[in-house]
Structure 1
């Protein structure tokens, strides 16, 4: 097994030179722009002197749904582009014969609703792999992101300037992007990659300046080029974002007040690399986690909510070795107590002292990322029951987290990468290290992709554990018919959970894929995707069959933008589950199943739209099934007010799962599990800089046990007729956030947040609706009112203001001296 994998890896590495070519066969549009001495005013009106005789980019081409068709004259789009010593300017005029019908829903920043928009993609290194993305909607809302080989990271936020104006027969977007938000080499003559798009939402049609061929390759390889940018002085890329925040917290009748202050800092070390630091961090206004009743063998993986850990982290996501919730997450230590002691307080998280990251890419295509964070000593509180004395016990020491990423790109879509993560804890606590090497090769015709990777993990505790993950595969990535095949494996001791997230281990998987897609609209369909997947999985050591799985998926979009699809999945021979017993070397036999699902969503151009999902698992065991029903209606009351609701009902009958250990026995239980989740969201957008947002979620789940078993060595379950039922459980969570946000200046924000949160855990089931809610609302509640104000300070602007102030003072002093001379 290992020999086959590493032989394949070596073959692919040796072949890498054959793929290190730019795809020069793809025609590239180009435009040569000029420098202006007087910057245009960003007001959505293109009457400034700078726009006179400016070069114009035009002749846009339809990207979808009908790929390759010229834009109609009625929607003619022209973009003027100029630059100066501060940045680059775009003035886009987009014709529309019915300007009163232009779609312009107001949303929060970095959100796009039912909107027409104008889209800019800038690549300062012209490598056709990573670009900066800037979008402004017809409602004036900004959206920015980083795009790497067609994958978008919208957590990145930049400070740039835009205004839109709707006229009698068109709408105009005027944009200024400062150089300090871009990355480009230090050269006298610049050559940048550029593409621009226009979304015409009434017909859900997208037009691009440089034609994007949807038959093969990623979006970014079709960049055009912009010339003419010469002899610009790169500004000092230094900015500060100080903040002040205050919190009034009330929990279980006790109120406390906190005031915090700190600062985020960004510094351009050179043209390529940027330092981001957070000093005295405060994440008290991050969104709430969607907690669940977890009865599985693995921890729940939550989304990252803290801005510093979501912005500009595309390099650190290479290889999936970094799960940022580990930094400041739950303590790793345990508490030792005597029979006369009790735990008063065990912390759920660890406080972050500071964090910093450095990232960038050289003009040779080498991306380098370095991340460091330090968390503080964290203690549990313990009380002696007899004497009432209290003591503290260290459960997480001072800890340092490091990540190093090296990512070399070549060709248009190829790369080789190395990632190392390290966790070092002070004292006798566990340390850990993980490293990975990754290779992705795309041939020069952008029709085939070859990939391979290998990772190693070291956990340094009382005994050192070393584990391996390895993958290899190839895929046809062009045309209507696409295929993929591969193999991946993990050894038993693979563990990256000190700074990453890993769940299942000790397996080897073989998989194959076939997909078919429409590349142009046909009949009543705008697009269609069909895919077939086959997977065989085994336990690695000792060898044991796990499962054979077949899966079919489909997705269709009609010309009226009604979306629907469905699928089917089955396991051929049942499953040997090696994880649910919670003991290495054991397994439980799970009967095979077939699963079918259907879904549809209506046209989201309409004020009222809805998405519905129905999913039904039927096991080859009488009465054992899982049913999931979901509905997500969305109502756009106006361009300023939007409401959305989501409801999910899940019932699992005769489910069998681990419940407990009884000496050397592993006890399973048969249960009926019911889960209901209701979520409500609402947005009232005052304008493109101020909004009021509601996020509400109520989660209910109960597990009702009816039978208990002992797990035999052969994986069978034997009934235990007299096992005490102490495992029934009902879990509720309630979260409500009401948030007002105001972007009162570029990059500067004031946020007021009211939060109400509670949860309840009851060791019984079958409660009436009112009884359940009474118990929940009698549980301790958290009520928080917080205010946070941050202000963006740009070094260049501060320097210019100081220089202007000094000049004015000098002129004022000179005038005073002159007046005194005249009087004498």
Structure 2
């Protein structure tokens, strides 16, 4: 195992030895003044505070023609000032055709068909961690954290903005309070700053400090903001109490429930923040997109709970934390004895509380700590003879915690340590996983070298199971020509699934990549990407060839912003699948395949836009194939109203897969499978604070088995025509969410949600559409109505409300128009 790691490590060192040349990046600077009286945030730059403010100007085109100066007709000037409470931006963006400024209304944290203005602030000026604030021409706010160019838009902050469209352009006025920023305790501050504007009708973007698209992350190209002096770090303490009410009707029974709780944020220091949820309420989280899963692995679902989504940039290091484990399925299933039946097996566990502490020091050390406690969960079991019932614990009180240390150095390099722990009370399974990650980018920002190692420990009764993973890679990250060499290996017993998510184990993978791209428009193309990949997969222990794959994929965007592409993938030597048999040490031989696909996206500046792709797998076996078809048209009726439709269609013929165990025999089946998914989404946005949102999804998948096989030790399948077919299956799920949301005050929201949901599972397949729908609607439906009110309370504002200090009172809410 060690030889694989050393080989790529030596390769990295060789590249590193001649790739250390320094490459300085030009950084604009602007020095801003302190003001005595704050401007009114109304989109009109006529306050006295703006009169002598310095101006950031001479923006440079970022896309599509990187490096060109902004034309005079779109001249952009930004005034910046500050006071004791925060920083103010006044942006004037010239436009010769103001009636064409794109102003589609969207929900908060969504950018539609809009012109927008973008602010990127880095309080530690390390060109790695920034906070971004976007205001669209429709007045909608979008905020996110950016780390080395990677965006986390789950972060939500309370700041203020207003826009005005004039006869010669448009204006953004914004106030960003210190309490949502992170910066060191220094008498003199120097922050990283960049700003951008986008002109949507031409899909052209301009930045204040030039961003070179040939290499490096966007955050490397900050300018600097000087002049902020002698400001006091505010007390960063806020509360978000909530109350909620639910009415759920299912199978003729209606239940009512009322909840109340509190989310708390506290700035422990200038760098670290405590987030805590007390008495959590996740009843309005979206439904999962459930599917008929016939694979060897569980389905990974997206996190829908806001607390677990927000501020996760540190906890995502190494992909060892899968937050859906917290409050997910119990670790055990009910154990019914002879003569007993399980009446109820819980699917989830209640969360008691959860806490996050995260931040980064002035020296670049990021520290994150997550802790959560879940409640006991019980299954109900009934004796079929006596009728007596008993409760069996399937999950005890459980503590989950994650610790992350991430030390940054240079402009774009880091060393990270991640540890996850799950501790269950009593004689239940416990787990620990630890990872170490090194990522080094040379000074020229042309090559990146990465290596990592992870270990997992699972403790059950008196037995400890240990597994490991090792990865190493060298990647050229600049210029038109890109290359990468990578090796990954994972032992059989590697298992992080108590708090993480992993699937394949017991493999070694060799990966090679070459890519070519246009970095400037040429001819009729704005950009082009050509990618070539080679993958060689082997079982690690005992050694066995698994797969060899060649993959080519491409992407093109024309100057009319029509995007298209396609590719081909070939496995010429067939495949030894070591996972589908569901037993370690066994494998099944599958034929090779040729996969080809094409996709296209029309111009999203138009009211009618369209996305679509078709993907065709043709196996090197008579009659075996699979097609994936997706169509997604969308129409923007107005700047307030839009609809989108999605169709996914997947017929698969002579598909082979695991179906059952019969003693020591592994039973496979040949099946024809049809999957169809229809979805509709729509938004009616009343203004930048009030919205109505619809999400509908119907999913159907059915598998009809035509042959059954026994799996031989050599991986071959032997047909068993006498075996009874009891494996046909059909699965339906139907979900409808209709949500009304009103941001009635900064950070405060009322949401009203109606839901309708039902599903069906049938050990048959091949029904007509009408028969399938009739069966689905014969099942009980869930109808749910809920209302939730949350209110944002800032400690500083509460304190100032009782203060007689007129200098502080000048920025009370009546002086501002709050953004949504």
Give TM-score, length-normalised by structure 1.
Answer: 0.96
Q: What do residues 337-387 of structure 1 show as CA deviations (whole Å, max 9, x unaligned)?
A: 222211111000000000000000000000000000000010001111222
Q: Residues 572-611 of structure 1: matches in 2 within 5 Å?
A: 572-611=572-611
Indicate conservation of the 8 Å contact 1:20/1:414, yes or no: no
SS of aligned partner of 1:180 = helix
Indicate conservation of the 8 Å contact 2:12/2:474, yes or no: no
In the alignment, what sits opposite 2:751?
A: 751
Structure 1 residue 389, shift from structure 2 partner: 1.4
Q: Residues 220-369 of structure 1: matches in 2 within 5 Å?
A: 220-369=219-368
- Aligned equivalents of 1:517, 1:24: Cα separation in 2: 22
In the alignment, what sits opposite 2:508?
A: 508
In the alignment, what sits opposite 2:196?
A: 197
Indicate conservation of the 8 Å contact 1:19/1:411, yes or no: no
Indicate conservation of the 8 Å contact 1:32/1:226, yes or no: yes
- Aligned equivalents of 2:675, 2:523: Cα separation in 1: 41
In the alignment, what sits opposite 1:88?
A: 87
Structure 1 residue 681, shift from structure 2 partner: 0.1
SS of aligned partner of 2:65 = coil
- Aligned equivalents of 1:399, 1:806: Cα separation in 2: 50
SS of aligned partner of 1:202 = helix
In the alignment, what sits opposite 1:174?
A: 173
- Aligned equivalents of 2:681, 2:15: Cα separation in 1: 51
Structure 1 residue 15, shift from structure 2 partner: 10
Structure 1 residue 7, shift from structure 2 partner: 6.8
- Aligned equivalents of 1:16, 1:428: Cα separation in 2: 50
In the alignment, what sits opposite 1:124?
A: 123
Q: What do residues 585-630 of structure 1 show as CA deviations (whole Å, max 9, x unaligned)?
A: 0000000000000011110000000011010000000000000111
SS of aligned partner of 1:126 = coil
Indicate conservation of the 8 Å contact 1:510/1:535, yes or no: yes
Indicate conservation of the 8 Å contact 1:743/1:749, yes or no: yes
- Aligned equivalents of 2:592, 2:336: Cα separation in 1: 45
Structure 1 residue 216, shift from structure 2 partner: 0.8
Structure 1 residue 803, shift from structure 2 partner: 2.3
- Aligned equivalents of 2:737, 2:292: Cα separation in 1: 21
User: Which of 1 and 2 has higher RCO (CA within 8 Å, sep 6+)?
Assistant: 2
In the alignment, what sits opposite 2:442?
A: 443
Structure 1 residue 804, shift from structure 2 partner: 4.1
In the alignment, what sits opposite 1:818?
A: none
Indicate conservation of the 8 Å contact 2:675/2:702, yes or no: yes
- Aligned equivalents of 1:424, 1:233: Cα separation in 2: 41
The answer to whether structure 1 residue 557 and structure 2 residue 557 are counterparts is yes
Structure 1 residue 12, shift from structure 2 partner: 6.4
- Aligned equivalents of 1:475, 1:11: Cα separation in 2: 11
Inter-CA distance 16–274: structure 2 relative to 1 (3 Å threshold): farther
Gaps of 5+ in 1: 808-824
Q: Residues 331-480 of structure 1: matches in 2 within 5 Å?
A: 331-462=330-461, 463-480=463-480
Inter-CA distance 14–530: structure 2 relative to 1 (3 Å threshold): closer
Structure 1 residue 3, shift from structure 2 partner: 3.3
- Aligned equivalents of 1:275, 1:19: Cα separation in 2: 41
- Aligned equivalents of 2:390, 2:802: Cα separation in 1: 54
Structure 1 residue 802, shift from structure 2 partner: 2.0
- Aligned equivalents of 1:356, 1:693: Cα separation in 2: 30
- Aligned equivalents of 1:769, 1:553: Cα separation in 2: 36
Gaps of 5+ in 2: 808-820
In the alignment, what sits opposite 2:628?
A: 628
In the alignment, what sits opposite 1:151?
A: 150
Give TM-score, length-normalised by structure 2.
Answer: 0.97
Indicate conservation of the 8 Å contact 1:110/1:143, yes or no: yes
Q: Residues 517-532 of structure 1: matches in 2 within 5 Å?
A: 517-532=517-532
Indicate conservation of the 8 Å contact 2:708/2:720, yes or no: yes
Q: What do residues 27-79 of structure 1 show as CA deviations (whole Å, max 9, x unaligned)?
A: 11110001101011100000011101101000000001000000000000000
- Aligned equivalents of 1:167, 1:385: Cα separation in 2: 77
Inter-CA distance 178–13: structure 2 relative to 1 (3 Å threshold): farther
The alignment covers a number of residue pairs equal to 807
Q: What do residues 796-816 of structure 1 show as CA deviations (whole Å, max 9, x unaligned)?
A: 000111224999xxxxxxxxx
SS of aligned partner of 1:35 = coil
SS of aligned partner of 1:803 = coil
Inter-CA distance 729–536: structure 2 relative to 1 (3 Å threshold): same
The answer to whether structure 1 residue 568 and structure 2 residue 586 are counterparts is no
SS of aligned partner of 2:799 = helix
Structure 1 residue 11, shift from structure 2 partner: 8.9
Indicate conservation of the 8 Å contact 2:16/2:442, yes or no: no
